[in-house]
Amino acid sequence: MRPGGVTKLAVVIIAIIALGLFAFQPLVTGLDLGLDLRGGVQVTLQAVEKPGEKVTREQMQQLQAVIRERVDQLGISEPRIQIAGADRLIVELAGIEDPEEAVELIGKTAMLEFKKADGTVILKGDQLQDARAGHDPRDNSPMISLKFNSQGAKAFADATAEAAKYPQGDPRRYIAIYLDNQLISNPHVNEPIANGQAVISGGFESFEEAANLAALLRGGALPVETEVIAKQTVGPTLGLESLNKSKTAIVVGLTAIGLFLLLVYRVPGIVANLSLIVYGIIVLGALYLLKAVLTLPGIAGLLLSVGMAVDANILIYERIKEELRNGKTLRAAVEAGFKRAFWTIFDANLTTLIAAAILYYLGSGPIRGFAVTLSIGIIASMFTAITLTRWLLRLTVQSGLFNKLSFYGVRR
């Protein structure tokens, strides 16, 4: 027995347990829940046909893509956006309780136009490269800074150069800015603007209003006009009772896994449980930092990655037991066990990561959420199983407290 090794092992164990006790609950409560777990708002949009023009499937798919981009720009994660029938789009947003707020955020067409005094359109919102909210340095009022792409910058430069030729105060020296056919600004052109940038100022009651409009402009205008035909608040699809049962099932399942590891692998089982605590903190911390929204598919991805983390530990411990039965010393068996199990664990996790990447690339919404949580869980499990568990077992062996083979589930 080495007193220094025992002290070091005790400090590490206490630190991991304390980390789990103090960090787990704040991280869990800090995660946002998806629509299926906490409810939100459902809005049904109807595409409006123009005279002689029928709404096409392609336009509905474009509408779906623009709404999804718009929602992402507004920072609302894990939306459900699906086409219903030939000309309807159902949008479900988690965490928003006011249907009117949802309509205000996503229902605008957001068609931006710059026009001359005679009504001629100079450029449109599809020639925007970026739109960001800020504050006017003169009076600190909210404003939006616009940046055009190369085509838009040239059109804007030509228009401002032409407007600057007219006398001060001449109506032709103004360029009007319209949003959804409503005049929102009519700035006077002092000089030609060749840098491809413009500002929308005035008319904003708050910075949040300017930021939301900037997000809509970045998301792009809707390809077809829409009208809201239904809006309502929806409850969690899982239901409170089922959600509580799911929580109980998770607790029971994890407890059963912990007891299994203890009974079958003894001291390595304790090490595995400590590693799982760190694994849980890493995964929850990553989800919190990424501002991820926890949904049922996300929880499924987490549980699957927990199973893979446990499986990795079992592979390692079985290899260690084989080495001990073959007569190797405890220290040599630990090193050989990790070395033999490494590539098996690596290959299994790599193939799952590839599958998760394909799901993320081809999927959307909840499927992407599943892929993200699964990927984070796999990376965390690789670290805890191969690096942390190995370090903890080395400390355990070096302490000299657990040198009997029976502590490792081996009988000779």
Tens-digit pLDDT profile for residues 343-397: 999 998 999 999 999 988 887 667 877 888 889 999 998 899 889 999 999 888 8
Q: Which two tokens stand for residue 108?
A: 């605008």
Q: pLDDT tens for residues 1-59?
A: 566 678 888 899 999 999 988 988 888 888 877 777 777 788 888 888 878 788 888 88
**Residue 112 reports pLDDT greater than 70:** yes
Tell me if residue 191 falls in helix, strand or coil: coil
Are the CB atoms for 111 and 179 separated by under 8 Å?
Answer: yes
Name the H helices within 238-382.
Answer: 240-265, 267-289, 296-325, 330-362, 366-382
- Residue pointed to by tokens 């360029």: 175
Residue with more model confidence, 409 or 109: 409
Q: Which two tokens stand for residue 263?
A: 């009974």
CATH topology of domain 112-211: Gyrase A; domain 2 (3.30.1360)
**Residue 239 reports pLDDT greater than 60:** no
What is the per-residue pLDDT for 242?
A: 61
In angstroms, what CA-CA distances link 349 with 317, 343, 344?
18, 10, 9
Tell me if residue 288 falls in helix, strand or coil: helix
Which whole number is the average pLDDT over 93-108? 70
The upper half-sphere exposure of residue 37, i.e. CA atoms within 13 Å in the direction of its Cβ, equals 18
Relative orientation angle of helices 366-382 and 296-325, to the nearest 10 degrees? 20
**Residue 100 reports pLDDT greater than 90:** no
| Burial class of 361 by CB neighbour count within 10 A (0 to 12, 13 to 18, 19+) | exposed
Relative orientation angle of helices 99-106 and 57-73, to the nearest 10 degrees? 110
First to last CA, the chain: 23
Q: Which two tokens stand for residue 387?
A: 């690096």
In angstroms, what CA-CA distances link 160 with 108, 157, 188, 249?
28, 5, 10, 66
Q: What dotted CATH number matches 38-109+225-233?
A: 3.30.70.3400
What is the per-residue pLDDT for 109?
A: 63
Write down the domain spans for the chain: 3-36+235-408, 38-109+225-233, 112-211
Domain 3-36+235-408, CATH among 3.40.190.10, 3.30.360.10, 1.20.1640.10, 2.40.40.20: 1.20.1640.10
- Residue pointed to by tokens 């309509």: 103
Q: Which two tokens stand for residue 360?
A: 């993320």
In angstroms, how far apart are the furthest CA atoms of the chain? Answer: 102
DSSP type of residue 129: E
